[in-house]
Structures are given as C-alpha cells and as structure tokens.
Structure 1
Amino acid sequence: MSQLRFSASDVAGLRFGVSAVWDTVSSLWTLRCPVRGAVHLPWIDRARQIIRRPDVAVAVGPLRELTRPRRWLPDFLTPPPPGPDAEFEEQLEQIAATPPDVVVRDLLATTRRGPLGPFGDALRRDPKAVLPDLVTAVQVWHDAAIAPDWPRMRALLEADIAHRATRLADGGAGQALGTLHPTVRWAGDRVISDDPWRLDFDLGGRGLALNPGIFTSSRVLWNLLEDSPPGGTYPVRAVATLWEAPPVAAADPLARVIGSGRAALLNLLDTATTTTDLARRTGMSCGNVSQHLAALHAAGLVSRSRQGRHVLYRGTEAAAVLLRASRGG
C-alpha cells in the first residue's frame, strides 16, 4: 500500500492531460503479454505484424529492452504531459532534454527488478550519446503502431478527462481522486493506493499530473521522485469500447421519426459525453455529430455544459421519455 500526501497547494495543482508517449511506451507491455490485454486483440494482431518488419524491429529494439515484462520503467521515459493539450512531439522533446544525471538515476532505480540490458547499460554509461537512439525508437513505434489509431484513442482519453472534470466540479478533488480506480481512495489529505510499492510520498506543493492510459489495466501507476514532477497514470474508462465497430442501425421506431443518426446519438447520451467520443462510437464524422446535436439541443432533447475546454452533451428527461416510449417501456 502507498500513500500520497497533499497540501492545499497540491490539491489546487491537480491536473489531467493526455500522454501519447505513455500509451506508445506501455503498448509494448500489452504486445508482450496479450492475455493481460485481451481487450486490445484487434490492435495486438496488427502490432504483431508491424514489429516483425525488420526496419521497425531494429529501430524499436532499445525501447523493447526497457519495457520488459515485470520491470519498472525509467521515469524519464514517461514524463507527465506539460499541459492538457500536449502533443506527442512535445513529450519527445521532454525525453530528449532529460539531463544525463537524471537518465542515470532513473535507470539505476529500475535495477531493483533486475539488471540493465546491453542498451540500458550503454545508456547509463553515456546518456548524451545514446539517448537519441531511444528517442528515435519511441518515434518509430508511435508512427508505425499507434498513430494510425491515435484519433480514436485520443477521443476515448479526452472523454475520460471530461468525466473527471465533471467529478472535480461536482465533488472536488477528493471525489475526482477517490474515483480514479477501485484500488485508490481519498482519505482527507492523502490518496491511499492499494499497490505493492509501499511509497510514502509528500507532493510538496508541486501538485499532481494525471493521465488516463489506454494500455494501463490493473492499477494506478505513479511517477514519484523527489526532484521530478509527480505524476500518475490510471486505467481509462470504457476501454472495451475502443475497438468496437460502429453500431449497425436497427429497425428502431424512433429512427423512423428523427433519423437513424440522431436516434443513435440519443441512445448514447445517458451519460455526459463529448462530440469526439460520440463520433468514435458511432462512426460518424465530428461535423455530422455536431449538426445532429445542435438539432437535438434545439428540440430540448439534449443539454450541454462546459467543463474546462470540453463541451459535454447529455440526454434530457424528455429524451429519456422518448426512448422509453420507442422501446415499448
């Protein structure tokens, strides 16, 4: 069990963001242990073909060595995103700019789970010369295996952050933190995490950067070192929907009245949702979703609210009545 102790300034510094680097790096864990990531089998099948390509296998080799199963990652490899809209290239620059002494410190911290491999040892001995090879490995794997699916992944991640923003607005930091995952709870001035690491960490007024993870499954994973920005990655909500095919329109009486697109959206709006997530789940373009939502809002069937940079849509009570009637309820 671990605990993270918060001051008032740490609570004020709580923030959420998307980390493309985290999902790029952690995806290799899933590729090596497909049983633990069975929900991602459609992606795993494609990624296996990609990693067999000689050009990819050679370039990604340094990253694969540092992401061996049951091994800790060096924290510099997965820096907390610098802001809510951080792009992949910004995080690559963060990795590339890691001071040599931090690279060495983070690599040595992983040796409690086993010795460094040949690349890790070379990186430890000469970080300045060898780190660019690792940055290239992250770039190549992202471009080959993650970028083609990144729009749908990002939509799911942003929908999760919008949900957390609602929790934060409705119940404060305690509710937002206490509902990250069943293994985490809020205890007044600290987070208690049911994990095997036995950390006792004071955030020291630096706040906490959190990001949802596509390939994070069993618990919240922490980046907690005294002289680094504190961060954590938690399992994204609704990950099982990520690889779903767009729903096929059924013989729905409501669809005959308001159209199949608007009926499909109403059926998904029992919880607050973003335009991008609705587009991902229905297969419609964001533009079409926005047009349908505008019409549904004008008819009083959808409400909308802003949480930070997100606009959330939700079905109204009138929509619920209409849905029940169309289902014969």
Structure 2
Amino acid sequence: MGSVRFGVDDLAQLRFAVSPLLETVAALRATTDPGGHALHLPWIKRALAVGTERTALVPHLAELAARLPPPRCPLAEIDEELPLLDGPAPLEGSPELAGAVLAWWRVGVRPYWARVRAVLEADLAYRTRQLAEDGIQEVFAHLHPGLRWANDRLTWGGGPAADRLDLDGRGITLTPSVFSARPILLPGRGPTPPCLVYPARGTGTLWERSAEPGDGLARLLGRSRAGLLSRTSTPATTTALAEQTGLTPGAVSQHLTVLRETGLVTGHRYRREVYYRASELGLALLGKEGGRRRTSGSG
C-alpha cells in the first residue's frame, strides 16, 4: 500500500503540474501492455508501427521509470525535463538513452501531444477550481477511486512498499497522466518536492472522433460554430480547437465569442490560457441534436 503523510505546511504547498517526460515514459509502458490500457488501443496500434525508436527503449523501461524526476514547473517542455533524467548517478549509456527517449517522444507522443496536453490541462483547470470551491479533501476524494484521505494521510492500494513517504514540509505536486492507470509516487530530489501521479479525468475521450454536428444544429448556428460547440463537451483551449477543426485560432476565437455571448459556452482561465466548455444550455442543445440523430438512424 502506498501512503503520503501530510503536515500543516504541506497542504499549503500543494502544486499541480504537467510532465511531457513522464507521459512519454508512461506511454512507452502502455505499449507493452495493450490489454491493461484498452482505452489507448487506437493509439497503441499506431505506436507499434512507428519503427525502432520504441523497441530500443523497452528494455530500459524499468530503469527509466525509476529515474523519472518530479516535474519542477506547471507546464514544462520535454527539453527542459530530459537533462533531469539522470538524477544523482548517471544512467547506463545515459547520452544514448536520453536521445532514445527524445526519439520516441518525437514519433510516438509529440504527434498527439496537443490532444494529450488539452486533456491534462483541462484536468488541472478542473482540480484547481475544485480546490478553490470545495477544499483539498474533495480534490483528494476525486483523484482516483483507490485513493483514501484520513487524518493526515493519503493512502492507496496496489503500490510498492517504497511508496510511503512523510512530506516533512516539502509539499507535493499532483500530476495528471492519461497513460498511467493507477496512482504513482515519485520521490522528491533536493528542493524539488515529491510528485503524486494520478489518472487524468477525460482520458476516455482522448481517442474518440468528435461527432460532426447534425444539419439542424449546423443550420441554426452555422457549421463552424456547431462544430466548435460539439467539441466543448470537455474543456478545450482555442489552440486545441483550432488544431481539431482546421480553423485559424483567430476564427475560433471569434466563433467562441459569439457562442459565449449567447450562453452556449463558458470560459475559465487557467494560468496562460482560457478553457471553453459547453454550458448547460449548450449541452442540452447538443443532447437534443444527438438524440435526434440516434433516433433517425435506428431501425
């Protein structure tokens, strides 16, 4: 069983972060166990066909996982994290291995990173809002079904015996992951606090193709605005929506302004970006349209 013991100061130093390096290694692990990562099968099929980058790294997977550094900043780039992979002692064949990690990132993860990062950042926006509105106990209660908060400890089953830690005033970083199916604890290094990795909410929608809006909704809103509304059932940024639809960021921004002014989407700022999500009215409109399509398409 894994556990983390909190002091009063630790709760005040709770942070959230996204780690592309962590996701790159977790993605590699997912390719070695497709049955345990059924949600990612559409991506795994592509990843298994990308060449030698993956096969060169798989024998080093356990070593890589043991050397993963906790993220130091909320929205790091992988180039910032790779130099931290070595830790206090160098990896066996460190330069070559770091290069292999970067090569795997480029072919296996980076082509999908905008989509992955949108899910991760949407999770952060949700958790930080939950923290502000409901407090830390509610955040912990909804990170993962196996996590339990009692007194001054956060515990979970299934972790190795080494996953037991007293924070001693260092605080902790909470990091969502789309490729990790269970909580994982990364010990801190020097001034960098430990990190608890947890499965991100919304992962189940990661590889789904967004349904195109029906003719009725498209006639009502225009096809571009209807398409954008259909992609905001989970929070999304202007950049992510532009990549999904092929529209320019400027055009997306203009359409979102109209959707927001008419009460069909809401916006929530997290750090440098605004996340847009369909409002109750927008979801109701999408639900009616979706229900009509399912009814008309049934026997």
Pick from 232, 243, 263 the counterpart of residue 196 of structure 2: 232
- Structure 2 spans left out of the alignment, 5+ residues: 293-299
The C-alpha deviation readout for 1:134-188, integer Å capped at 9, x for no partner, is: 2112111111221221121111211111111121121122222221111112224
Which residues of 2 match residues 240-255 of structure 1 at below 5 A? 240-251=204-215, 253-255=216-218
| CA–CA distance in structure 2, aligned partners of residues 172 and 274 of structure 1 | 25
Aligned to 1:203: 167
Greater Cα offset, 196-205 or 282-291:
282-291
Q: Deviation at 1:323?
A: 5.6
Aligned to 1:23: 23
Q: Deviation at 1:195?
A: 2.3
- Structure 1 spans left out of the alignment, 5+ residues: 104-119, 124-129
Alignment partner of 1:75 is 2:69: no
Structure whose CA Rg is larger: 1
| CA–CA distance in structure 1, aligned partners of residues 280 and 58 of structure 2 | 51
Q: Deviation at 1:11?
A: 1.2
CA contact (8 A) 2:213 2:230 kept: no
Pick from 59, 69, 78 the counterpart of residue 65 of structure 1: 59
| CA–CA distance in structure 2, aligned partners of residues 181 and 36 of structure 1 | 17
Distance 1:266 1:92, change over 3 A: same
| CA–CA distance in structure 1, aligned partners of residues 285 and 210 of structure 2 | 23
CA contact (8 A) 2:69 2:189 kept: no
The C-alpha deviation readout for 1:240-275, integer Å capped at 9, x for no partner, is: 222222422323x33212113323444555665544
Pick from 126, 132, 138 the counterpart of residue 175 of structure 1: 138
Which residues of 2 match residues 1-329 of structure 1 at below 5 A? 1-51=1-51, 53=52, 56=53, 61=56, 63-67=57-61, 74-76=65-67, 78-96=68-86, 98-100=87-89, 123=92, 130-198=93-161, 199-217=163-181, 219-224=182-187, 229-251=193-215, 253-267=216-230, 269=232, 273-276=236-239, 278-279=241-242, 286-316=249-279, 318-319=281-282
Which residue identity does 1:86 align to in structure 2?
Answer: A
CA contact (8 A) 1:174 1:188 kept: no
Distance 1:134 1:296, change over 3 A: same
Greater Cα offset, 292-301 or 137-146:
292-301
The C-alpha deviation readout for 1:198-253, integer Å capped at 9, x for no partner, is: 44321111111122112112x101113686731121112222222222422323x3
Q: Deviation at 1:31?
A: 1.3
Q: Deviation at 1:316?
A: 4.2
Q: Deviation at 1:21?
A: 0.8
TM-score (norm 1): 0.76
Q: Deviation at 1:14?
A: 1.3
| CA–CA distance in structure 2, aligned partners of residues 29 and 39 of structure 1 | 14
Greater Cα offset, 257-266 or 133-142:
257-266
Distance 1:280 1:241, change over 3 A: farther
| CA–CA distance in structure 2, aligned partners of residues 169 and 276 of structure 1 | 26
Q: Deviation at 1:4?
A: 0.7
| CA–CA distance in structure 1, aligned partners of residues 207 and 234 of structure 2 | 20
Q: How many pairs does the alignment contain?
A: 289
The C-alpha deviation readout for 1:91-128, integer Å capped at 9, x for no partner, is: 012125x322xx5xxxxxxxxxxxxxxxx7xx2xxxxx
| CA–CA distance in structure 1, aligned partners of residues 277 and 210 of structure 2 | 20
| CA–CA distance in structure 1, aligned partners of residues 243 and 150 of structure 2 | 36
| CA–CA distance in structure 2, aligned partners of residues 151 and 254 of structure 1 | 27
Q: Deviation at 1:280?
A: 6.2
| CA–CA distance in structure 1, aligned partners of residues 104 and 124 of structure 2 | 25
Q: Deviation at 1:39?
A: 2.0
Distance 1:151 1:168, change over 3 A: same
Aligned to 1:114: none
Over the matched positions of the two proteins, sequence identity in percent amounts to 39
| CA–CA distance in structure 2, aligned partners of residues 286 and 178 of structure 1 | 36
The C-alpha deviation readout for 1:76-102, integer Å capped at 9, x for no partner, is: 2x2122111210000012125x322xx
TM-score (norm 2): 0.83
What secondary structure is seen at the aligned counterpart in 2 of 1:210?
strand
